[in-house]
Amino acid sequence: NAGVTQTPKFQVLKTGQSMTLQCAQDMNHEYMSWYRQDPGMGLRLIHYSVGAGITDQGEVPNGYNVSRSTTEDFPLRLLSAAPSQTSVYFCASSYSGLAGLGELFFGEGSRLTVL
């Protein structure tokens, strides 16, 4: 089983550039989310979605956009990258009924550096 797949695994951007982090899951999960991980701060929720066509903001949404056109895919867009967005990004998914209960399945992460 592929589970949750994130691409790319590594990316270096210059300030002001845009890019999209891709996330796909093959478990038919309704709930998908994006977290960023920074040293000493754990994981912070950026955006999440409870189904196709539905998205909502998490704790740290500024500078990021998401969309959910299909159940499988949940891309994260950085419109104008800033050094403060240097981080490791994780996509996670769950069955909708369980999402609030935290049984998330995580991808392997995407390490982003903004110069």
Partner 1 sequence: AQSVTQPDIHITVSEGASLELRCNYSYGATPYLFWYVQSPGQGLQLLLKYFSGDTLVQGIKGFEAEFKRSQSSFNLRKPSVHWSDAAEYFCAVGGKKAAGNKLTFGGGTRVLVKP
Q: Can you give the binding site for partner 1, defined by CB under 8 A?
A: 4, 31, 33, 35, 40-45, 48, 50, 58-59, 90, 92, 96-97, 99-104, 106-109
Q: Which is nearer to partner 1, 85 or 107 (CB)?
A: 107
**Residue (15 or 103) nearer to partner 1, CB:** 103
Considering the complex, state which of residue 14 and residue 40 has its C-beta at the smaller distance from partner 1: 40
The residue among 17 and 22 lying less far from partner 1, judged by its C-beta, is 22
DSSP secondary structure, the chain, as one string: ---EEEE-SEEEE-TT--EEEEEEESS--SEEEEEEE-TTS-EEEEEEEEETTEEEE-S--TTEEE--SSSSB--EEESS--GGG-EEEEEEEE-HHHHTTT--EE---EEEEE-
Q: Measure Cα distances from 60 to 1, 45, 98 in Å.
A: 31, 6, 22
CB of 100 to partner 1, least distance (A): 3
The CB-of-84 to partner 1 minimum distance in angstroms stands at: 18
Q: How far is the CB of 61 from partner 1 (least distance, A)?
A: 12
